[in-house]
Amino acid sequence: MQAASASHHISSGSCLNRCSVIVRATPHVPPNVPRGATIVSEWPFSQAVIVAHRGDSAHLAENTLEAFASAIELGAEAVEFDVRMTSDGVAVVIHDADVSRTTDGSGLVRSMTLDQLRRLRIELGGGGAAGVPTLEEALDVLSGRAAADIEIKNVPSEPDFDPDREEAVEATIAALASTGFVGPVIISSFNPLAIARSRELAPHLPTGLLTDRSVEADAGLAFARAQDHAWVLPAVEALLGAPDGFAERVHVAGMRVGTWISDDPDEAVGLMHSGVDAVATNDPGRILAARRRAFGA
């Protein structure tokens, strides 16, 4: 997911229209098939969940183990993070296709080996530094402590996009099994192809369609429903602009709705009152405090 202040919203999530013709050719997988694994639990939350967007990213470097641990300590029920692949086929946690914004290096993640990525440093603040974590390392931190909202990165607007490559999906499913992850999971993406692939390989794992502010919330719902996804995940701008009763329409369809990004306490509480199931935020401590004031929990 992109931060709410970023103009990159529209370009990053516009895969819905560009990929829709392709994804309809994907073999249909019916919902509610028997589970083939017991490493994930059902969605157990009765109230709106606070999703820490890339961890406690308002205070620590995004997508680091330290940011994830901080979010859990604050009480976030779920942590969202991004998955990309290295040149030697290792799933790592980093948002951008290029490492230059978040590390002291430069170049595409896809062109680097894990060993090369390991040499890069991420400034945490206060003189501390961290490394780019692997997916398995991230899952180890979250297992039994928080839900994992795993965003698969591979969209047309990015320099390393490959419409035929879904390695990150396959690697994510393998990592969930190999680590013995315990807890709720959402496999999400702006790319319908990625989550369709997840549905093929592991239909027991809930999937969520991310859409940006250029896509009307109800359009995203219609597409996600047609593809049997468990979640529809519109940008907060699109959700706020949707006709009244959007969350109810999602629930009638047998799905859940989450939104991104809300760092404003009043806005976030309003979304919760509207029936939203999950709110992603860069500042989980602040939004958790607002939820406690509004709902007592």
Which of 9, 59, 95, 229 does the annotation list as catalytic? Answer: 95
- Phi and psi at residue 69, in whole multiples of 5°? -65, -40
Fill in the amino acid letter for 212.
D
CA 294/CA 297 separation, integer angstroms: 8
Would you call 53 a catalytic residue per the annotation?
A: yes
Q: Are 243 and 220 in contact (CB under 8 A)?
A: no
CA 57/CA 80 separation, integer angstroms: 11
Cα–Cα–Cα angle for 112, 118, 119, rounded to 5 degrees: 95
Neighbours of 39 (CB within 10 A): 18
Neighbours of 216 (CB within 10 A): 17
For the chain, give me the number of helices (H) and strands (E)? Answer: 12, 11
Look up tokens 């990309």; give the residue.
84
CA 50/CA 25 separation, integer angstroms: 35
Would you call 95 a catalytic residue per the annotation?
A: yes
Pairing of strands 128-130, 122-125: antiparallel
CA 127/CA 96 separation, integer angstroms: 23
Q: Are 180 and 105 in contact (CB under 8 A)?
A: no
Which of 53, 59, 204, 251 does the annotation list as catalytic? Answer: 53
Look up tokens 């086929």; give the residue.
89
Tell me the C-alpha to C-alpha distance, in Å, between residue 32 and each of 136, 230, 294: 27, 10, 35
Q: Which active-site residues does the annotation give?
A: 53, 95
